[in-house]
Structure 1
């Protein structure tokens, strides 16, 4: 879907709606997936070792292979989800890229009358600019948060594994 037929403020409104949807549904699920990816990154090698080291009544290779296939699939899905999220942030998913400066300039052009040098504030336009800028500021912290969530999942699983091996 392309937004080329819309003016700059309409594009910004469409992007704000997309950002709101992304913030309420996509970002939380990606954070959960990041945590689970971190847990799997710690548990799969340990599980492979445990399956390989202990004598078992069933074949080991299919079980170990399945663990690594699940890990590979999860990491691939996580990376593609992260790529889609970045595409959404930049506006490429809708075929638009509105910079904050261009939006602010377009809003100023509507609010400022050059003939008599008067200012006519439009509350709806100011809200569009503030929302757009707020989402832009919030997104810059999401990618480091996703990375930290993966690391937290890895550390959490490693700690649980070390405690469980000390108990056994």
Structure 2
């Protein structure tokens, strides 16, 4: 067993919501002492880097209440219960951008905030877009923009792109073969 492992001795659910649940876990630390851990339980999410045939990345501008401002992001959304990440990525891409695709390439997955949350995001890429119809959730409002990879990198630097998943995706695209300037 991992010498850093924390054994859970009790779990108390504090909140059960539509998007997240909050638990407090009492844990036994590796040194035998007790501590509490506040954990945000999240069903997971998907994100897509959609690239047009012109080589531009399709991004969304969306107001984020938690931040109190509008930010620019790649299309993304939460996994529905029991939903396959690949199917979710295709659904979110179409809902948010109106684009459909028959080809989604899985790039990688990553944890967003492992110190207090279990959210895992699955990141996909497509460069085979077919124009469809935007079909956002009823409580979702956003604008679409298309930018080159270089413009996206500048947006990360000036914090127009200011969320981790999008910055991470842009960095990954820079490192990916064939996307060097």
The TM tier, using the shorter chain, reads under 0.3
Instruction: Name which one, 1 or 2, has greater alpha-carbon Rg.
Output: 1
Q: Give the helix-richer structure, 1 or 2.
A: 1
TM-score by length of 1: 0.23
Q: Give the strand-richer structure, 1 or 2.
A: 2
If asked which structure has higher relative contact order (CA below 8 Å, sep 6+), I would say 1
TM-score by length of 2: 0.22
